[in-house]
Structure 1
């Protein structure tokens, strides 16, 4: 292995170490309270070295948001490929949504903030491109399942994109709303049971009577 290849491998390794450190700090403290200095300390690097790889904590947090969106899209697509009924696939989406929330709720919450209209305007073209690509994979997979259900006469004959939007919006809305209630009232998180209730209602509403 040449010097250039070795340096590139070391750079990639260092970058991954910084991202892992950032995930830990953001998960423990939240985006606003976390600092680049704390991330550098967790990664056992100087703050100056950190800035050689990432320009600010916003960029670091956005990268983590893209990672969790990719995780969500991958899990949804795995459900779609399973040899089970469309009703079971919808039920499995509930498990995926809860699993991703429990994997890192702080990063997921930031992802949904990133996907809001005004926030998207402030992202770079490259970051926006990645968010759009992974969102399309996740959303598209849900649309395909709903379309299959409509074609099979199992689901109501409404526009599959609109129905997928209801499912996705319910997920993001519940995560953001229930979390904001927890912060305002210092209450225990109720995202998981609320998502389960929402899926009962959505599943029932999707099926033809």
Structure 2
């Protein structure tokens, strides 16, 4: 292995260390209270080194959101490729959404806040492109299944992009709403049951009959 390859591997390893440290600090302290200095300490690096990889806390937090978005997109694409009917694919989407929430609820919540917040203005062009690319892949896969249902005469003849927006918006809405309720009672988390109910309503509403 040459010097260049070793440097690239070291750079990738250090970036992973920073992201893992950030995930830990953000989960404990939350985005607003966490500092780059605390993340640097957790990663056993100097604050200056962090800024060589991420220009600010928002960009570092966004990298975590992109990671979970990639995970979500991979899961969705696997459902799209299954040889099953569109109704069952929609039910599998429900399972994927629940699984991703369980994978890392706090980062998923941040993703939904990110997609509608001012944080987007603080991102580099490269980070913004990564976010757009992965969002488009996830959204496009959902659109593909809905369009299949429309073409087969199973789903109502509405614009598939609009219907995909309803599905994605319902997912975000349920997660954010239940999260706000959890702040009042930490012992209750109704995301799974609420998403199950939401999908029943959405799938029923999508069907022509």
Q: Is the 1:181–1:187 Cα contact (8 Å) retained in structure 2?
A: no
Q: Structure 1 residues 113, 90: CA separation in 2 closer, same or farther (over 3 Å shift)?
A: same
In structure 2, what is the equivalent of residue 166 of structure 1?
A: 166
* Deviation string, structure 1 residues 47-71 (Cα, Å, up to 9, x no partner): 3433333233222111111111111
- Which residue number corresponds to residue 27 of structure 1? 27
| TM-score (norm: length of structure 1) | 0.92
Please list the CA deviations of residues 156-189 of structure 1 after superposition, one character each: whole Å capped at 9, or x if unmatched.
1211111111100000111112212222455522
SS of structure 2 residue aligned to 1:31: helix
Residue 134 of structure 1, CA deviation: 0.8
1:45 alignment partner, SS class: coil
Q: 1:22 to 1:119 in 2, by over 3 A?
A: closer
Decide whether aligned partners of structure 1 residues 195 and 161 sit closer, same or farther in structure 2, where only a CA change above 3 A counts.
same
Partner residue, 1:90: 90
Structure 2 Cα separation of the partners of residues 118 and 25 of structure 1? 22
Query: 5+ residue gaps in structure 2?
Result: none
Pairing of 1:133-144 with structure 2 (within 5 A) = 133-144=133-144
- In structure 1, stretches of 5+ residues that fail to align are none
The CA distance in 1 between the partners of 2:145 and 2:7, in whole Å, is 45
1:110-129 paired onto structure 2 within 5 Å: 110-116=110-116, 118-129=118-129
Q: Deviations over 1:66-85 (max 9, x none)?
A: 11111111111110001111
Could you say what secondary structure the match of 2:92 adopts? helix
The reply to whether residue 132 of structure 1 matches residue 155 of structure 2 is no
2:149 match: 149
Task: Calculate the TM-score normalised by the size of structure 2.
Answer: 0.92
